[in-house]
């Protein structure tokens, strides 16, 4: 079974003025990769509650983050061939992805779709409990982009197996 490629984005907060701070993917083979994003000087919105969730400080982003163009290029290299990635928070992730590519001066070579379009009704019923079970079993560090993408992918795989 080929797993869907899943993309997840951590952000500076929610709503107006928020921006992407980490982008991660879980590839079809189950491997993961993530990059911290160096904020632009004009990106000043910072929600301390969001930082409590993801544990990434603005200072760390400035020190360890990659420039927007580099992150956008990496995403196009990774996802351009498959042409599609899936997100469980399409509304937020698509907005942040568009912001990233806009400020990088590039266009995405792939499209982002809502993960739910892949799910059967039964998978949707099993989703939350299966996800919570996997968090405990696998010991995934929540609210980091690569780990969250892999968790979603594993949840998809497990719910698919439970529905067959």
Sorted by where each starts, the structural domains of the chain and their CATH numbers stand as 6-158 (3.30.420.10)
Residue 116 per-residue DSSP state: G
Percent of the chain exceeding pLDDT 90 equals 90
Contacts of 161 (CB under 8 A, 6+ apart): none
| Torsion angle in degrees (nearest 10) through CA of 105, 108, 113, 115 | -90
Question: Residue 60: which region, alpha, beta or left (left: phi > 0; alpha: psi -120 to 50)?
Answer: alpha
pLDDT on residue 163 = 62
Task: Give the separation between CA 125 and CA 81, rounded to whole angstroms.
Answer: 32
Taken in order 47, 53, 58, 59, the sign of the CA dihedral is: positive
* Angstrom distance (rounded) from CA 25 to CA 93: 12
Task: Mark out the alpha helices in 22-83 (DSSP H runs).
Answer: 48-54, 58-64, 68-79
52-69 pLDDT, tens digit each: 999 999 999 999 999 999
What confidence tens digit (pLDDT) does each residue in 110-146 have? 999 999 999 999 999 999 999 999 999 988 878 899 9
> Which pTM was predicted?
0.94
Q: Would you say 153 and 4 are in contact if contact means Cβ atoms under 8 Å apart?
A: yes
> Taking all residues of the chain, what is their mean pLDDT, rounded to a whole number?
95
Residue 80 CB coordination number (10 Å): 11
């Amino acid at each position: 079974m080929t797993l869907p490629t899943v993309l997840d984005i951590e952000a500076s907060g929610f709503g107006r003025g928020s921006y992407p701070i980490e982008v991660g993917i879980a590839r079809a083979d189950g491997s993961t990769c993530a990059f911290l994003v160096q904020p632009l000087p004009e990106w000043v919105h910072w929600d301390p509650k969001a930082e409590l969730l993801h544990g990434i400080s603005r200072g760390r982003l400035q020190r360890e983050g990659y420039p927007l163009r580099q992150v956008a290029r990496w995403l196009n290299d990774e996802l351009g061939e498959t042409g599609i990635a899936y997100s469980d928070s399409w509304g937020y992730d698509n907005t942040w992805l568009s912001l990233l590519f806009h400020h990088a001066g590039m266009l995405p070579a792939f499209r982002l779709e809502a993960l739910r379009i892949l799910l059967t009704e039964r998978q949707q019923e099993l989703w939350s409990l299966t996800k919570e079970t996997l968090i405990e079993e696998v010991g995934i560090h929540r609210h980091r982009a690569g780990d969250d993408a892999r968790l979603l992918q594993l949840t998809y795989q497990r719910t698919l197996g439970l529905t067959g």
